[in-house]
C-alpha cells in the first residue's frame, strides 16, 4: 500500500471512528482531553504501520486496541503516583477483560452508550454553553475548528480557545464521565439537544469538503437522539428534536433520489409525542413542524408556505436569531412573493454575525433574480460562492451567477 493511499484510508477511518474511540478511552482514563490525545497517538501509530501492513480488516478495533493499551499505561502510571498501583491495576485489568469482545457494548450504567456519556460530560455546567457545544462537536462529531467556527459564525481562533479551555476545565474540576441523573440531567438537557442537532446539521449539509452530506454524522446524531428519547421520555423537546431529525433525514435521499417515507412516519410519530406532552411551542417542535409541512406536500406547489412562514414567526419569538429571520424571509418570498422576502433579507445585511455567512447573499441573489434584477443577483451569487467552503455548493452558486449574467444580456 502506498503512503498516499494509506493516508487517505486513515483520514477516512479516523473521521468515522474518532468519536467512538475518544468516548471509549474517556471511560477508561476519565479525562476527555487525555482521551483525545490517546486517540491522536493511535492515529500516529496507524500512519506508521498501515503503509507497511495495509488497512486492517477492522480498522476501528485496531485503533482502539492501540489506544486502549496506552490508556491502561496512563491509568497505571497514575496509580503508581497515587501509591495505589496494585488495587487500580487489578481494576483496570478486570475492566479490560470485561470489555475485550465489544468495547462499545460495555456499559457502566443503564444507558449503555459511551458516546452519550461523552455528550453529557462535555455539556457539564462548569463549562459555558458555547464551550459545551464546541467541545462536543469537536470530540463527538470529529469536526475541525474551522467547521465549528462556521457553524457558530465566529472566528476560528475563538473556537480553538474555547475547546482548549473546556478540556482544561473538565480535567481541573474532575468532571465524572457519566450520564447525570434527575435534576442535573434536566439542567444539561437543552445544551445536549443543541449539540446533537448541530452534529446532525453538519452531517445533513456539510460546511466544507467535496460532498453535500456526511451521512455518518446524521446517523450518530439520530442514534443519540433516539437513545435520549428513551432516557427522558416525558421531555417534549427531546421528541421534537427526534422528529426534526427523522423528517430531515428522510429528505437526504431526496437530494439524490427519493424521500424515505419510513423516516417520515417516525418523525410524525415523534412530533405527535412532543405535542401531546404540551411541547408544540418548543424550538425543536416548531422546527419539526416546519419540516413536516415540507414532508406532507406531494409536490413543491402544494407546500403550505403561509403556515411555514407563521411557524418561523413563532420560532423567532421563542428562539430569535438572524438565521431564523433569513429562513422566514425565504418562506415569505414563497407565500407572498420575492419582494416581501427581499424586504426582510435587506434588514439582515448589516447583521455582524451574518457577514461571512454564504446563505445570506445566496438567498438575496435568488430573490433579486426572481425580480429580474440580474446584475445585482449575479454579484450576490458570486459573493456567496467565495464564502462557502463546500465545493459542490460553490459550483452550483457559480452556475446560478452565470445564468443571471446571461439573463442580464437578454
Share of the chain above pLDDT 70, in %: 86
Average pLDDT over residues 194-217: 69
State how far the Cα of 120 lies from the Cα of 87, in Å rounded to an integer.
Answer: 29
* C-alpha distances in Å from residue 336, one per residue of 271, 305, 306, 330, 364: 28, 9, 8, 10, 16
* pLDDT at residue 329 is higher than 90: yes
Mean pLDDT, the chain, whole residue set: 84
**134-158 per-position pLDDT tens digit:** 898 888 777 788 878 876 768 899 9
Domain ranges of the chain: 1-101, 342-409
**CA dist., res. 10 & res. 230, Å (int):** 34
The pLDDT score that the predictor gives to residue 102 is 40
* pLDDT band, residue 3 (cuts 50/70/90): low
For residue 213, what pLDDT is reported? 54
In b/e form, how buried is each residue of 363-396, taking b as 16+ CB within 10 angstroms? bbbbbbbebebbebbbbbbbbbbebbebeebbeb
Highest mean pLDDT among 111-115, 119-123, 250-254, 354-358: 354-358
Tell if the pTM clears 0.75, that is, is over it: no
pLDDT digits (tens, 9 = 90+) for 214-261: 677 788 788 889 988 987 899 999 999 999 999 988 876 544 446 688
**Residue 363 reports pLDDT greater than 90:** yes
> Where residue 98 falls among pLDDT bands split at 50, 70, 90?
very low
Average pLDDT estimate for 291-307: 91
Sequence-distant (≥ 6) Cβ neighbours of residue 410 within 8 angstroms: none
Q: What span, in angstroms and rounded, lies between the C-alpha atoms of 288 and 295?
A: 10
Amino acid at each position: 500500500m502506498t503512503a498516499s493511499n494509506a493516508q487517505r484510508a486513515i483520514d477516512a477511518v479516523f473521521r468515522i471512528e474518532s468519536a467512538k474511540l475518544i468516548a471509549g478511552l474517556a471511560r477508561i482514563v476519565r479525562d476527555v482531553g487525555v482521551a483525545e490525545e490517546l486517540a491522536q497517538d493511535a492515529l500516529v501509530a496507524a500512519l506508521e504501520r498501515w503503509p507497511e501492513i495495509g488497512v486492517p480488516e477492522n480498522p476501528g478495533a485496531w485503533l482502539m486496541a492501540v489506544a486502549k493499551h496506552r490508556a491502561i499505561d496512563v491509568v497505571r502510571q497514575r496509580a503508581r503516583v497515587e501509591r495505589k498501583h496494585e488495587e487500580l491495576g487489578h481494576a483496570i485489568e478486570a475492566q479490560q477483560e470485561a470489555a475485550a469482545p465489544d468495547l462499545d457494548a460495555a456499559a457502566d450504567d443503564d444507558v449503555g452508550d459511551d458516546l452519550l456519556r461523552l455528550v453529557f460530560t462535555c455539556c457539564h455546567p462548569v463549562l459555558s454553553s458555547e464551550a459545551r457545544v464546541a467541545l462536543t462537536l469537536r470530540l463527538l462529531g470529529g469536526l475541525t475548528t474551522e467547521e465549528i467556527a462556521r457553524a457558530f459564525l465566529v472566528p476560528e481562533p475563538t473556537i480553538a480557545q474555547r475547546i482548549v479551555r473546556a478540556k482544561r476545565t473538565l480535567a481541573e474540576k474532575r468532571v465524572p464521565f457519566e450520564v447525570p441523573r434527575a435534576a442535573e440531567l434536566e439542567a444539561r438537557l437543552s445544551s445536549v439537544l443543541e449539540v446533537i442537532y448541530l452534529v446532525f446539521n453538519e452531517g445533513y449539509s456539510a460546511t466544507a469538503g467535496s460532498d453535500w452530506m456526511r451521512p455518518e454524522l446524521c446517523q450518530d446524531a439520530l442514534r443519540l437522539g433516539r437513545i435520549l428519547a428513551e432516557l427522558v421520555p416525558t421531555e417534549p423537546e427531546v421528541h421534537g428534536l427526534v422528529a426534526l431529525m427523522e423528517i430531515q433525514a428522510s429528505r437526504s435521499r431526496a437530494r439524490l433520489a427519493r424521500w424515505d417515507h419510513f423516516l417520515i412516519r417516525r418523525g410524525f410519530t415523534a412530533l405527535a409525542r412532543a405535542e401531546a406532552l404540551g411541547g408544540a411551542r418548543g424550538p425543536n417542535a416548531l422546527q419539526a413542524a416546519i419540516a413536516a409541512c415540507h414532508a406532507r406536500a406531494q409536490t413543491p406547489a402544494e407546500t403550505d408556505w403561509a403556515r411555514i412562514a407563521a411557524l418561523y414567526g413563532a420560532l423567532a419569538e421563542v428562539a430569535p436569531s438572524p438565521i431564523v429571520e433569513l429562513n422566514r424571509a425565504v418562506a415569505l418570498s414563497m407565500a407572498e412573493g420575492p419582494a416581501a422576502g427581499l424586504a426582510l433579507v435587506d434588514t439582515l445585511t448589516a447583521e455582524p454575525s451574518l457577514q461571512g455567512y454564504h446563505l445570506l447573499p445566496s438567498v438575496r441573489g435568488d430573490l433579486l433574480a426572481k425580480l429580474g434584477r440580474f446584475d445585482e443577483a449575479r454579484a450576490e451569487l458570486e459573493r456567496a460562492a467565495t464564502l462557502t467552503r463546500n465545493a459542490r455548493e460553490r459550483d452550483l452558486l457559480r452556475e446560478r451567477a452565470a445564468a443571471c449574467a446571461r439573463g442580464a444580456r437578454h
